[in-house]
């Protein structure tokens, strides 16, 4: 996960250079999609297995409580911008 985070930070930095951005746009998009997929799967797997911890052992309320912890909220907010346009359709100007 650390390598994936470093890769994403590097891509964000490289995207600010016009020549690099134009030349590697397709690769940057692929890296973004794959990264968000991996982060999303990891996020939901953590919610799934959190019941192994005694504090979150209840299958429903334990998972909800775990999902509402500060680190999980931060992770959800980091993933959300990728999915936002799919959930909230953009209204185009007339």
Domain residue ranges in the chain = 2-85
pTM (2 d.p.): 0.83
Quick one: the chain helix, strand, coil %, rounded to 5? 80, 0, 20
Q: What is the mean pLDDT of residues 23-51?
A: 96
Residue 94 pLDDT grade (very low, low, confident, very high; cuts 50, 70, 90) = very low
For residue range 44-72, list pLDDT tens digits in order.
999 999 999 999 999 999 999 999 999 99
């Amino acid at each position: 996960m650390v390598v994936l985070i470093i890769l994403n930070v590097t891509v964000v930095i490289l995207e600010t250079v016009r020549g690099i951005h134009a030349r590697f746009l397709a690769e940057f998009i692929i890296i973004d999609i794959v990264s968000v997929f991996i982060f999303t799967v990891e996020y939901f797997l953590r919610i799934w297995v959190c019941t192994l911890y005694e504090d979150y052992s209840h299958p429903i309320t334990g998972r909800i409580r775990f999902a509402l912890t500060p680190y999980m909220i931060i992770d959800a907010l980091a993933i959300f911008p990728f999915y936002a346009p799919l959930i909230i359709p953009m209204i185009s100007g007339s």
